[in-house]
Amino acid sequence: MATRARPAQRRRQVLSREQIIDTAIGLLDAGGENGLTVRALTDRLATGSGAVYYHVGSRDELLDTATETVIAAALATAPDHAPATPEDEIRDVALALFDAITEHPWLATRLALQITRNPWGPVTVGIFERIGRQVGALGVPRPSWFVAASTLVHYILGAVSQNARIGGETPAIETDAEREEFLGATSKAWQALDPGDYPFMHAISGQMREHDDREQYLAGIALVLDGITGLR
């Protein structure tokens, strides 16, 4: 009996919090939130549920920690240096979040929950701090800081969420071919609308088919920044 206990004991000793979080992120990337179960996690790590609870707490706590880990890594990749303009810094942060949610589709829902339910947590505070510093550097008056930063953050999160599978309910567009097929079908449906009843939708149908998500996202950032700089 003693010889059987030693290997299990060694596994518990070498298991780290970081290993659990990294494995959880992998399960989330592969199967969304439904793919992250304690059983799947313990099977992947060859450990017991007690070790998971000891290191990271409940499943909800693990989801929050996974979100914090991915967002912290994304913000760390966005340059934070003095020579760049405030507009450049905001675009860097926005693109880092865009890329993070594109890579981790489950993140969109968790990020929205963090912003609304835990505004004092590290995710919300980290994003607002990075964006807010640049809002101040743009010369926006202090009484308008909250409105300006909130507008930017809400646009960023709303736009990136459109490019992700939210809550596992909306099928993701996985490949360029699937995206082209989807946009083509949408454009065709809009073109078929009566131009007398829907002149705007009819006019933009071709733009819908040809647009690039990343370029559209950056164009939206530029529009919001134009409005914010007008506050000066």
Mean pLDDT for the stretch of residues 109-114:
87
CA–CA separation, 125 and 122 (whole Å): 5
Closest CA to 161 of 202, 203, 115, 196: 115
With a cut of 60, say whether residue 163 has pLDDT above it.
Answer: yes
Domain check: are 40 and 106 in the same one? Answer: no
Joined together, the tokens standing for residue 60 give: 């909800």
**Whether residue 119 sits in one domain with residue 200:** yes
pLDDT value at position 30?
93
Please check the confidence at residue 12 and state whether its pLDDT lies above 70: no
Say if CB 121 and CB 114 are below 8 A apart.
yes
Residue 65 in domain: no
Q: Are 91 and 203 in the same domain?
A: yes
- What is the chain's alpha carbon radius of gyration, rounded to the nearest angstrom? 22
The reported pLDDT for the residue numbered 72 is 93
pLDDT at 49: 85
pLDDT tens, position by position, 34-90? 999 999 999 999 888 888 888 888 999 999 999 999 999 999 875 655 557 899 999
75 lies in the same domain as 136 = yes
Tell me if 11 sits within 8 A of 46, measured CB to CB: yes
Task: Answer whether residue 62 is part of any domain.
Answer: no
State whether 110 and 138 are in the same domain.
Answer: yes
Residue 40 shares a structural domain with residue 75:
no
Q: Are the CB atoms for 179 and 173 separated by under 8 Å?
A: yes
Domain limit, last residue, from 18, 36, 57 = 57
pLDDT classification of 157: cutoffs 50, 70, 90: confident
Q: Is the pLDDT of residue 8 over 90?
A: no
Whether the Cβ atoms of residue 63 and residue 107 lie closer than 8 Å to each other: no
**87 and 29 in a common domain:** no
Residues 53 and 7 reside in one and the same domain: yes
CATH, residue 40: 1.10.10.60
- The model's pLDDT over 167-208, given as tens digits with 9 standing for 90+, comes to 344 445 556 677 788 888 888 898 898 988 999 998 888 887
The pLDDT value given to residue 6: 46
pLDDT band at 216 (very low <50, low <70, confident <90, very high): confident
DSSP readout, the chain? -HHHHHHHHHHHHH--HHHHHHHHHHHHHHHTGGG--HHHHHHHHTS-HHHHHHHH-SHHHHHHHHHHHHHHHHHHHS---TTS-HHHHHHHHHHHHHHHHHH-TTHHHHHHHHHHH-TTSHHHHHHHHHHHHHHHHTT--GGGHHHHHHHHHHHHHHHHHTTS--TTTSPP--SHHHHHHHHHHHHHHHHTS-TTT-HHHHHTHHHHHH--HHHHHHHHHHHHHHHHHTT-
Q: Give CA–CA dist 178/172, Å, rounded.
A: 9
The pLDDT score that the predictor gives to residue 107 is 92
Nearest to 128 by CA among 156, 170, 159: 156
- 142 and 121 share a domain? yes
Average pLDDT, the chain: 83
- Structural domain of residue 105, as residue ranges? 70-232
CATH number of the structural domain spanning residue 159: 1.10.357.10
The mean-pLDDT minimum among 23-27, 66-70, 74-78, 133-137 falls in 74-78
Q: Would 96 be classed as within a structural domain? A: yes
Q: Give pTM, 2 decimals.
A: 0.77
- Dihedral, CA atoms, 92, 219, 103, 178, nearest 10 degrees? -160
Percent of the chain having pLDDT more than 90?
Answer: 41
Residue 20 falls inside a structural domain: yes
Verify that 177 and 147 share a domain, yes or no.
Answer: yes
Based on the domain organization, do 3 and 98 belong to the same domain? no
